[in-house]
Amino acid sequence: MLNNLLQNNAVLNIVRKFSAGEPKKVFLKYLIIFSAFNIFLCGFIVQQSMFSKYKWKDGKDKEFDIRPGENFSEIVQELKNKDIIPSAFVLKVLGKFTGKDDKVISRRYIFKTGMTNLDVLNIITDASLFQSVKFTVNEGLMIKQIGKNAEKYLGLSRDKFIEEASNDSLIALLGLSDSVKSLEGFLYPDTYDVPLDITEKGLVKILFNEFRKKVFNNSEIMDSIAAKKMNFYNVMKMASIIEGETRKEDEKSRIAGVYYNRIRKNMKLEADPTVQYALPEFKKRLTYDDLHVKSPYNTYIIKGLPPGPINNPSISSIKAAINPESHNYIFFVATGEGGHTFTENYADHLKAVDVYRKKMAQQKK
């Protein structure tokens, strides 16, 4: 090993300079170099600790809850366990160094891949932070279905959401307190940016306020209802049935015409979506027994419209209920291709049903 050192030019050079009487200068020079290297190394470590971005494999946003009473070490360790940060030690040191380890705020957070330790620390200690998540309410969903989605995607309680959707003070804003028991039909379908810490009550208010803005305070809609001397609540009932029957925009007013024709003829509506609403759980395909389920919503049993809306319809279905197509159709059946065949009498209806059944049988082969 000694031979190797003596053969090293850098080492020999240092030895020669010491021998030439320059030990102090040589020492000072290398002390400066060594110090500069250490400063650079410390700077690099700090830079990596604070500003190096950490990316996780799937790249998806991650939600994280900080509960009241949790200390900084527990929170940091949980962040590491959920693969939001690469090292618990580094974030703990950073928290102490910045004095933010005792300023963490208990709430729900969302983290994106590619964040630095400093980003994470700043987020969990920022009292003014507002984070949101997208939540979609599709056209035609029932309150219980919206509640199920709120439970799945927002971490809320389905049952609590359903309970809040019977809020008397909100129902009173519609002027329907005497007849309405829940906000079924009055939660507007759309995609929303909702706060991460949204509550069941808060979500109901957001959906209801959007309905008020887009429908109840829409002069075009409300003036049309008034001009035609229609009942607003009955319009919403009809709109929900139309929504349950079709997503095809060009069929909605025609289906509305069918049901208004049946009402004028004192016929039962016999609308499948009302049966689906009456059942404990939604069924896409109904059986013969389902059609006889005892419920005030089952229009195979009762005459006229059901007691209330059966889902939360789109604005196009509401407009179709106000402006039905004028025709003589009183029956319709699915074509098996997304649309419906409309007929004026029972004999033609049976023929259309037969065509549909044959097509379904053909598809099963």
CATH assignment of the domain containing 76:
3.30.1490.480
User: Is 25 a residue whose pLDDT tops 60?
Assistant: no
Shared domain check, 69 and 7: no
Shared domain check, 105 and 43: no
Answer yes or no: is 250 within a domain.
yes
CA-CA-CA-CA torsion sign (271, 272, 275, 281): negative
User: Is 360 a residue whose pLDDT tops 80?
Assistant: yes
The count of structural domains within the chain is 3
Judge contact between 346 and 279, C-beta under 8 A.
no
Shared domain check, 74 and 30: no
Sequence-distant (6+) residues with CB within 8 A of 142 are 184, 277, 282, 310, 311, 312
Q: Structure pTM? A: 0.78
pLDDT of residue 180: 85
Indicate the angle between helix axes 88-98 and 23-51, nearest 10 degrees. Answer: 100
Tell me the two tokens of residue 311: 């889902």
**Structural domain of residue 253, as residue ranges?**
218-327
Answer yes or no: is 170 within a domain.
no
Q: How high is the mean pLDDT of the chain?
A: 87
Shared domain check, 33 and 105: no
Judge contact between 148 and 158, C-beta under 8 A.
yes
CA–CA gap between residue 56 and residue 359 (Å, rounded): 49
Which of 318, 313, 347, 316 has the alpha carbon at shortest distance from 330?
A: 347
pLDDT digits (tens, 9 = 90+) for 32-68: 665 655 554 454 455 555 567 888 888 888 989 998 9
Shared domain check, 8 and 95: no
Shared domain check, 323 and 231: yes
Mean pLDDT to the nearest integer, 26-37: 58
CA–CA gap between residue 298 and residue 135 (Å, rounded): 31
Instruction: Classify burial at 308, counting beta carbons within 10 Å of its beta carbon; exposed 0-12, middle 13-18, buried 19 or more.
Output: buried
Tell me the two tokens of residue 256: 């509305």
Half-sphere exposure of residue 211, counting CA atoms within 13 Å on the CB side?
A: 24
Q: Which of 124, 155, 175 is the last residue of a domain?
A: 124
DSSP state of 192: E
Answer yes or no: is 197 within a domain.
no
Shared domain check, 102 and 7: no
Answer yes or no: is 139 within a domain.
no
pLDDT digits (tens, 9 = 90+) for 229-283: 999 999 999 999 999 999 999 999 999 999 999 999 999 999 999 999 999 888 8
Answer yes or no: is 144 within a domain.
no
Shared domain check, 80 and 40: no
Answer yes or no: is 283 within a domain.
yes
Answer yes or no: is 210 within a domain.
no
pLDDT digits (tens, 9 = 90+) for 253-267: 999 999 999 999 999
Judge contact between 101 and 92, C-beta under 8 A.
yes
Answer yes or no: is 266 within a domain.
yes
